[in-house]
Amino acid sequence: MHTTEIKKVLVANRGEIAVRIFRACYDLGLHTVAIYSNEDTYSLFRTRADEAYLVGEKKSPLGAYLDIPGIIGLARRRGVTAIHPGYGFLSENSTFAKLCRDNDIVFIGPTPEVIDRMGNKSQARRTMMDAGVPVVPGTKKGIHDVDVALEQARTIGWPIMIKASSGGGGKGMRVSESEEDFADMFNIAQRESVNAFGDNTMYLERAVQNPRHVEVQIIADNHGNVVALGERDCSVQRNHQKMIEESPSPLLDADEGLRRRMMDDAVKAARAVGYTSAGTIEFLMDAERNYYFMEMNTRIQVEHCVTEMVTHTDLVGEMIRVAAGEPLSFTQDDIVLRGHAIECRINAETPEKNFMPSPGTISQMHLPGGNGVRVDTAAYDGFEISPYYDSMIAKIIVQGRNRTEAIAKMRTALEEMVIVGVNTNLDFQYAIMENETFRAGLADTGFIEQFLAGEV
Residues belonging to the active site: 299
Helix or strand or coil: residue 308? helix
CB atoms within 10 A of CB 178: 11
The rounded distance, in Å, linking the Cα atoms of 188 and 172 is 8
The rounded distance, in Å, linking the Cα atoms of 297 and 96 is 16
432, containing H or E segment = helix 426-434
The rounded distance, in Å, linking the Cα atoms of 49 and 47 is 6
CB 327 within 8 Å of CB 221: yes
The per-residue DSSP string of 38-80 comes to GGGTT-SGGGGSSEEEE--TTS-HHHHHT-HHHHHHHHHHTT-
CB 92 within 8 Å of CB 299: yes
Helix or strand or coil: residue 327? coil
Strand partners, 296: 281
The rounded distance, in Å, linking the Cα atoms of 314 and 454 is 39
Helix or strand or coil: residue 170? coil
| Residue 436 dihedral angles phi and psi, to the nearest 5° | -65, -40
